[in-house]
Structure 1
Amino acid sequence: MTIHPEDLRTAEARLQQLHQRIGGIAYGGDYNPEQWPREVWLEDAKLMQQAGVNLVTLAVFSWSRLETSNGVFDFGWLDEVMDLMHQHGIGVDLATPDAVPPAWLVEQHPEIMPERPDGSIFGFGSRQHFDVSHPVYRAKSLVLAEKMGERYASHPALRMWHVGNEYGPTSYGPWAEKAFREWLQRKYSTLDELNEAWSTAVWGQLYSDWSQVRVPAQPRTWSNPSRRLDFHRFTSDSMLEHYKAERDILRRHSPDLPIVTNFMRFYKTNDYWAWAAEEDAAALDIYPDPREEDAHIAAALNFDLMRSLRQGQPWMVMEQATGAVSQWSVNVSKLPGKMRLGSYQAIAQGADSILFFQWRQAKGGTERYHSAMVNHAGPNTRIFREVCELGQELKTLGDVTGTRSTAKVAIVFDWDCWWALELGNSPRSDLNYAQEVLRLYRPLFDANITVDFVNANSDLSEYSLVIMPASYLLTDQAAERFESYVTYGGRLVVSYLSGIVDQDNTIRLGGYPGALRKVLGAWSEEMHPLAGDGEQVKLSTLDGGTSSASYWTEHLHAETAEVLASYSSGRLAGAPAVTRNSFGQGMALYLSARVEDGLLAQLLHDELRSAGVEPELNAPTGVQVRRRTGCSADGTNKSFLMVLNHNDAPSSVDVLDGGTDRISGRTVQGAVELPANGVLIVDETAG
């Protein structure tokens, strides 16, 4: 299908063109030729061809090599590499390298280094050593982006742009303080509004002049939570502002090319809902710990989140490891087959790109033990053979690109909530928001239910079931949206610590969960976190069964809600623990306690059944099933059933409708046995 230049105004069209130009699924990774002598470059290009690589990311950390001193640029070596890639049929994802300001810039302007809350300064020698608010850092970054756009926009190897790398440094220095104050002045038109939002009457923190408003640096004891919440918001916005400035420069030079930056797993600093809206695709760096038997479930959550950030649009694995990484105390290597399985898991959950960090394993520097597509031992290794095998398989799956997944279940994931919930000075300051979300996601993953993620501003009308894990902060508008969702027939599951504060991080009065009390038909007069990790209380369920709860309980009162489980021991004996309320045409379930895993799974299963939500395919435990359908990048309508065996033993599934396994080429229908860590990609439209 031909794409005309005038059509390349949308992210979808730019991505479609990318996959057409590289021949399907993007495959490759970060390439750092500046770490190697020139004689290695040609060998690398030939090995890339052997491995099926069609896209490499260049120049991520190359600022010091591209601008060797102030205003002195050397693009010759990068020209050579770009030309070499083109000669070997390999596309380039070209990065602006401002994640690592060079030593000469730090020497001339040491004030660009970020400042910690205690006033100490980051030292040179790592990455992300900059205050994004500093005008010199910003100006120099934009000059380099302009020069790269001018030089390479028309290069035949260029396929997309990669802005920065893993945005994240937070600074509490004078430039951040100035920018924070300006950000606040835009948000709050008067100091009276700011004082009201921040509850500065508490502890006598009233501001009488804007000059008094500073970043929340290290206080004597505790710091104002509303002020700190706004600083989280400002930090994300300030980095996004800089990303957008570089993006706009590159877009002017290359209006037809995708532009992205890379996100990180469970990354708290940046609101990825806001970021994804400004990019052509969500792109994820994902490093599951091979020591964790269920690491693929946390990975799955992140994959579904990436797919959801741009309303189901295919996304990119920007970085992953072929084997071991170098960031944990013990860095074990992935077992044979696990790299392939993890790559197909990402594809099953909406990825159209499988990229690694990095192509050739570094022999020096901090990440010298981080595995690569070509490891220290060279290409005659198990890992490189697996890399080649996967690359050849992916060449046959080009028509997967562009297809999407659909879900009838959504989970709320919101950065405002995350920031507010983990500021401390709360009934449980050890609560981990990401783990709370994962806990409610896990039963759905085990049941092979496709899940979307939404935020408090999302349209909920397409979902039969919406789940709110510890949705601590809700605006009035968001609360009304969830209430309306239930009123018109939706089913809502709400966990403890939801609806507690408003947009200013101020407690909602009248009983917890204040924003959701009406729709839940129940309210708590007091929170009762349990004292120790091992402490439990017993529960009795409506059907006469028994269960338990740990970590969190509440003194709950049912108003219009039905009681599904009550405490049968402890100080709350006889009080409700789990309720369900009929509201309008829908239902709302409230988990006021952290119930044990078995009861949680049963409650969610009952909600799924009542909502009419079924899995794509019934499969044994440990076998993941997903479906991707719709118009592929080649313009044809496709349907792919993807089955992944995460078990270390064979598993059997029943492929009812059948089709062609695109990996083996054989026809499959009925009972199919998958080997340990095996993958089945069933083309349901074949033939």
Structure 2
Amino acid sequence: MTIHPEDLRTAEVRLHQLHQRLGGVAYGGDYNPEQWPREVWLEDAKLMQQAGVNLVTLAVFSWSRLETSDGVFDFEWLDTVMDLMHQHGIGVDLATPDAVPPAWLVEQYPDIMPERPDGSIFGFGSRQHFDVSHPVYTAKSLALAERMGERYANHPALCMWHVGNEYGPVSYGPWAEKAFRGWLQRKYSSLDELNEAWSTSVWGQIYSDWNQVRVPAQPRTWSNPSRRLDFHRFTSDSMLEHFKAERDILRRHSPDLPIVTNFMRFYKTNDYWAWAAEEDAAALDIYPDPREEDAHIAAAANFDLMRSLRQGQPWMVMEQATGAVSQWSINVSKLPGKMRLGSYQAIAQGADAILFFQWRQAKGGTERYHSAMVNHAGPNTRIFREVSELGQELKSLNGLTGTRSTAKVAIVFDWDCWWSLELGNSPRSDLNYAQEVLRFYRPLFQANVTVDFVNAHSDLSPYGLVILPASYLLTDAAAKKFENYVTKGGRLIVSYLSGIVDENNTIRLGGYPGALRNVLGAWSEEMHPLAQDGEQVKLTTADGGTYSADYWTEHLHAETAHVVASYSSGRLSGSPAVTRNPFGQGTALYLSARVDDRLFQQLLDDELLSAGVEPVLDAPAGVQVRRRSGNGLNFLLVLNHNDAPVQVDVLDGGIDRISGRPVQGPVEVPANGVLVIEEGAGPWH
């Protein structure tokens, strides 16, 4: 889905007003005062001031406290907290709490609970325990949103609205089934059209009445892949419709305030391209595992995705952890300085809000070991000192909010591709789409090349290089868009398992990759995934270089394309493995195999050079550099992800906003250190 320019401008005005009101970068997190006695609330407000907090998210899980029984409401406690926040100069991001339907509602309407594919029912005691298609759930949650909008729209503490929390529950129950059938009837004009789209003549699955069409619950063996793809689409759409219904209620009461919900990292259930178009900003919950040495690279990809979802508009970190989380098998705490570094990394990649889950660490419940801004030991701790220091530092970044980054490289990331590729019963059912995307993203990140993510609806004209990693499902229109891009001089890199199926998840005939055969100037007659873990074949390039490939190979034929590398061992020995096709004014590179990192880096370097793409700044390994521009200012952000200091040449220099010191030429950046340089400012300018 594309975003109308007027909608973008309106959202930007709302966000600009938010940051003006907050005094710059939004800083704070989820606050759950209902978990604590009232005498703690005043202490919290004073500690928030000490920590530099200017925004808290309230009421995310508070439905049972706001509506204590059917139609009986208690807003007094929330009134008190809202007033307290305002008295201490702290803004409120007020949430509609429908992620946790209360026990009394579930008791009255037990079929609100989602049903699993095997027919079993979710139990009460966690969260997200609802079928979004249930009419009572819809009516009750919208009614509560209406009451909250009426009551708080004009409260002086209210800065923005937060709808729901981490939308995601999937149900296969009767209410979902009824809604799915209605969704299909709106999409397909007749059963004949549905039967054709789903290839129901295979295995005799032809439908003769709409009442026969059900959700794809757990079958005896494999299930129709086109039907399952449509169910993925329906699930995302049905939750989005609920979000939009609440958003519209709140918008009527607060037309000038931003409205968001929180996304999750590489989350498969919801198509965030469609979701982001309906919000004022993308907002992300991000919890990298500190045990992973390169966790910051996967985080970076998620950050760039959030920045890209609304065409480069600044976004929000809605949740992150100060230390340990409670979701891994071993919950390692972040080392000193890592929380600060990760926060600045998000800012470097376009975030204008740094928020945490949560303010005060719970003493009971499921997430009692999830770290917070104030941990179990209280404020006299390393974590609270780091939280407070960061809060004070962020106040020095005036002028940064609203600025943007520019990219000349784009990677295609598409939920239809993701859903269709991972349905199983395919040549490699173990393929992980997000990991394939990361494999292409990682060397670009390490080279300090700024990357946008795009989908089939995006404008490709700003980019010198576009990459399609395992873009399994492509419509005719999308394939034509990529052809036109190359024709006009663009450079395209396409990996195996791209262009294989159409929008109905039906194989394109005539050789793989069907949708892209013309622009690639090559075709495969057969897929040859490698059977054993670690199995490799040898490759030889046209200039005599020797490399290897693993995981995936294809029996490829070059038509108009030049052969860049060939298989030199195994059953495909002598056949092309990598081709480059001149097409119009541009070129298209095809990787029919998962080539080794060394060859991929060489190919990527050649494409970047030919496309005229340069890094933001040459820097040592482990140093990330990004630039944000706007408001008549340019900021160069330098982040050292190494655990040792490094020397970086910042060339033109400027003023480091954090320290206030002028910076020019070679400068030492401490281990896990950060520079936020206002370029062009300093005594030498």
Instruction: Find the counterpart in structure 1 of residue 21 from structure 2.
Output: 21
Instruction: Find the counterpart in structure 1 of residue 144 from structure 2.
Output: 144
Superposition pairs for residues 245-284 of structure 1, below 5 Å?
245-284=245-284
Q: Distance in 2 between matches of 1:655 and 1:126?
A: 50
Contact 2:627 2:634 in 1 (8 A): yes
| Equivalent residue letter for 1:181 | R
Residue 605 of structure 1 deviates from its aligned partner by: 1.0
Superposition pairs for residues 492-641 of structure 1, below 5 Å?
492-631=492-631, 637-641=632-636
| Equivalent residue letter for 1:647 | N
Give the SS at the match of 1:81.
helix
Instruction: Find the counterpart in structure 1 of residue 3 from structure 2.
Output: none
Q: Distance in 2 between matches of 1:9 and 1:465?
A: 28
Q: Distance in 1 between matches of 2:259 and 2:156?
A: 17
Residue 106 of structure 1 deviates from its aligned partner by: 0.1
Superposition pairs for residues 225-624 of structure 1, below 5 Å?
225-624=225-624
Give the SS at the match of 2:652.
strand
Q: Distance in 1 between matches of 2:680 and 2:167?
A: 41
Q: Distance in 1 between matches of 2:114 and 2:98?
A: 14
| Equivalent residue letter for 1:501 | V
Instruction: Find the counterpart in structure 2 of residue 684 from structure 1.
Output: 679
Provide Cα deviations, 1:335-382, integer angstroms capped at 9, x if missing partner: 000000000000000000000000000000000000000000000000
Contact 1:8 1:255 in 2 (8 A): no
Q: Distance in 1 between matches of 2:673 and 2:133?
A: 48
Give the SS at the match of 2:353.
strand
Q: Distance in 1 between matches of 2:95 and 2:371?
A: 21
Q: Distance in 2 between matches of 1:439 and 1:8?
A: 31
Give the SS at the match of 1:571.
coil
Equivalenced residue count is 677
Give the SS at the match of 1:472.
coil
Contact 2:655 2:663 in 1 (8 A): yes
| Equivalent residue letter for 1:680 | L
Contact 1:8 1:14 in 2 (8 A): no
- 1:32 aligned onto 2:27: no
Give the SS at the match of 2:539.
strand
Q: Distance in 1 between matches of 2:266 and 2:198?
A: 27
**1:671 is matched with which residue: 666, 675, 679?**
666
| Equivalent residue letter for 1:361 | Q
Residue 599 of structure 1 deviates from its aligned partner by: 1.1
Provide Cα deviations, 1:251-276, integer angstroms capped at 9, x if missing partner: 00000000000000010000000000
Q: Distance in 2 between matches of 1:74 and 1:597?
A: 59
Give the SS at the match of 1:578.
strand
Instruction: Find the counterpart in structure 2 of residue 12 from structure 1.
Output: 12
Q: Distance in 2 between matches of 1:685 and 1:188?
A: 58
Q: Distance in 2 between matches of 1:311 and 1:181?
A: 34
Q: Distance in 2 between matches of 1:359 and 1:398?
A: 24
| Equivalent residue letter for 2:414 | D
Provide Cα deviations, 1:19-50, integer angstroms capped at 9, x if missing partner: 00010000000000000000100000000000
Q: Distance in 1 between matches of 2:151 and 2:602?
A: 59
Instruction: Find the counterpart in structure 2 of residue 634 from structure 1.
Output: none
Residue 531 of structure 1 deviates from its aligned partner by: 0.7
| Equivalent residue letter for 1:498 | S
Q: Distance in 1 between matches of 2:542 and 2:415?
A: 36
Contact 2:646 2:670 in 1 (8 A): yes
Contact 2:407 2:463 in 1 (8 A): yes
Instruction: Find the counterpart in structure 1 of residue 645 from structure 2.
Output: 650
Residue 9 of structure 1 deviates from its aligned partner by: 7.5
Q: Distance in 2 between matches of 1:121 and 1:195?
A: 30
Structure 1: tracts of 5 or more residues without a match: 1-5, 632-636
Q: Distance in 1 between matches of 2:74 and 2:495?
A: 56
Q: Distance in 1 between matches of 2:576 and 2:467?
A: 20
| Equivalent residue letter for 1:419 | W
Contact 2:537 2:548 in 1 (8 A): yes
Residue 7 of structure 1 deviates from its aligned partner by: 12
Q: Distance in 2 between matches of 1:216 and 1:397?
A: 51
Contact 2:652 2:680 in 1 (8 A): no
Q: Distance in 2 between matches of 1:576 and 1:457?
A: 32
Give the SS at the match of 2:195.
helix
| Equivalent residue letter for 1:157 | A
Give the SS at the match of 2:650.
strand
Provide Cα deviations, 1:429-486, integer angstroms capped at 9, x if missing partner: 0000000000000010011000000001111011100000000000000000000000
| Equivalent residue letter for 1:675 | P
Superposition pairs for residues 168-179 of structure 1, below 5 Å?
168-179=168-179
Structure 2: tracts of 5 or more residues without a match: 1-5
**TM-score (normalised: structure 2):** 0.98
Q: Distance in 2 between matches of 1:48 and 1:56?
A: 9
Instruction: Find the counterpart in structure 1 of residue 132 from structure 2.
Output: 132
Residue 285 of structure 1 deviates from its aligned partner by: 0.1
Give the SS at the match of 2:147.
helix
**TM-score (normalised: structure 1):** 0.98
Superposition pairs for residues 201-216 of structure 1, below 5 Å?
201-216=201-216
Contact 1:661 1:680 in 2 (8 A): yes
Contact 2:653 2:680 in 1 (8 A): no
| Equivalent residue letter for 1:218 | Q
Give the SS at the match of 2:532.
coil
Give the SS at the match of 1:410.
strand
Q: Distance in 1 between matches of 2:454 and 2:219?
A: 35
Q: Distance in 2 between matches of 1:495 and 1:473?
A: 13
Superposition pairs for residues 44-123 of structure 1, below 5 Å?
44-123=44-123
Identity percentage over the alignment? Answer: 88
Q: Distance in 2 between matches of 1:24 and 1:642?
A: 17
Q: Distance in 2 between matches of 1:605 and 1:597?
A: 12
| Equivalent residue letter for 1:352 | D
| Equivalent residue letter for 1:392 | Q
Provide Cα deviations, 1:551-584, integer angstroms capped at 9, x if missing partner: 0000001111111111111111111111100000
| Equivalent residue letter for 1:638 | L
Contact 1:7 1:13 in 2 (8 A): no
Q: Distance in 2 between matches of 1:439 and 1:311?
A: 23
| Equivalent residue letter for 1:509 | L
Q: Distance in 2 between matches of 1:180 and 1:209?
A: 15
Q: Distance in 1 between matches of 2:599 and 2:197?
A: 40
| Equivalent residue letter for 1:293 | E
Provide Cα deviations, 1:481-538, integer angstroms capped at 9, x if missing partner: 0000000100000000000000000000000000000100110000000012210111
Provide Cα deviations, 1:389-410, integer angstroms capped at 9, x if missing partner: 0000001113110000000100
Residue 541 of structure 1 deviates from its aligned partner by: 1.2
Q: Distance in 2 between matches of 1:512 and 1:339?
A: 46
Instruction: Find the counterpart in structure 2 of residue 199 from structure 1.
Output: 199
Residue 685 of structure 1 deviates from its aligned partner by: 3.8
Give the SS at the match of 1:398.
coil
Q: Distance in 2 between matches of 1:544 and 1:443?
A: 24
- 1:659 aligned onto 2:654: yes
Q: Distance in 1 between matches of 2:195 and 2:636?
A: 55
| Equivalent residue letter for 1:628 | R
| Equivalent residue letter for 1:16 | H
Q: Distance in 1 between matches of 2:605 and 2:260?
A: 38
